[in-house]
Amino acid sequence: MDSELHVVMCPFLAFGHISPFLQLARKISSCAASGGVRVTFLSAAANVPRIESLLPASTSISVVPLHLPAVPGLPPGVESTADLPPTSPAAELLKLAVDGTRPQVESLLRELRPHLAVFDFCMQWLPEVAEPLGVRTLFFSVFAAVSTAYLTVPARRLHGPAPTLGDMMSPPPGFPSAASSIRSVPAYQAADFLYIFKSFGGGVCVYERVVKCIESCSAIVAKTCTEMEGPYIDYIERQFGKPMLLAGPVVPAPLEGKLEARWAKWLGGFAEGTVVFSSFGSETFLTDEGERELLLGLEMTGMPFLVVLNRPKSGTNGEHEEVRKRLPEGFEERVRKKHGKWREFLLEKELQDGFTAKLVERLRQLAKA
């Protein structure tokens, strides 16, 4: 295919999903070896301004709004998990709202006629509307391959629709245990895994959504590489009989310009590779006890560290004082004395490699098939 490749992208309504989809869109659309890739990005209308603010001034990515239908129990105006308090049960209703966009998505695919549609776990129905239109579909997993291999493969169905805690403590049959350090997981972690088998509001559980996505799509896109997760990639391909297209570690491009002098001076006071960075994502909130344990643990390493502490939006301007109140007794003084600062932020680095060019070539081959 020598003409411009047109790709539609459909992430779930959480910025932990939107962000990697957006980074993938930026990579494939700006790849010099791509021969031209145009991306149409679909998301709920309220998310469009924030998504557009993350795009470069000159881009071949356009953002098209979806209008979420009303869902009983979902507060008006909620169009991403960022609009909800942490652990709110209403977050599950966003999946039902996405299900309700099926007619809109089908209409857009008919109108746009893209070559490919890259979609998330919440749209397990997308292949049913895309494939008859000649649009090949790719499921993009925003999680590590080891997570998919352990949790969401057909082999997990051997335990029935409601696996037990004991079932989830052990890997599924055929799991590449010989090449893995994972022999089992603790009970508390297995208990968390049981969430993916629960139905909320009569909707399809996460496990069935993911498995149907992969079983119905043309191929899987994963933000990993064989050097990092080769055995898990092979296992997933065997389980589903589908190829995995590897995007490499999809991370944001570094910000341009110089680091502020105060941070450059502080970081410059330590040897390369000796500063520990800790962050759990923009929508993960630790308990007060969890924060104290994290901070004390980092202090015990004896190494300088940068840690991001998140709190739900409070609407107040006293966030710094709130952080101070939650610090372990004497922590601020001890850390300031040893390392000079106690609250820092870090920029992420982009991995420079050939993953993007290889991925785009595989996408073109798939579009021609």
Q: Which residues are designated catalytic?
A: 17, 120
Q: Write the DSSP symbol of residue 299.
A: H
The answer to whether 184 and 170 have CB atoms below 8 angstroms apart is yes
Give the whole-angstrom CA distance, residue 302 versus residue 274. Answer: 10
- Measured in whole angstroms, the distance separating CA 114 from the mean position of its chain's CA atoms is 23
Other C-beta atoms within 10 Å of 118: how many? 27
**CA dihedral sign of residues 315, 317, 320, 325:** negative
Q: What is the dihedral of CA 121, 160, 168, 246, to 10 degrees?
A: -30
Q: Which helix (H) or strand (E) holds 116?
A: strand 116-119
What span, in angstroms and rounded, lies between the C-alpha atoms of 43 and 258?
Answer: 33
In what helix (H) or strand (E) does residue 10 lie, and over which residues does it extend?
Answer: strand 5-10
Residue pair 17/142 in contact by the 8 Å Cβ criterion: yes
Q: Can you read off the two tokens belonging to residue 273?
A: 């590779």
**Tokens read off for 351:** 């991995």
Q: Which phi and psi angles does 81 have, rounded to 5°? A: -65, -20
Residue from 266, 309, 264 nearest 286 by CA: 309
User: What are the backbone dihedrals phi and psi of residue 8, each rounded to the nearest 5 degrees, phi first?
Assistant: -100, 140
Nearest Cα neighbor of 171 from 90, 236, 80 is 236
Q: How many CB atoms lie within 10 A of CB 68?
A: 22
| DSSP SS3 for 167 | helix
List % helix, strand, coil for the chain (3-state, nearest 5).
Answer: 45, 10, 45
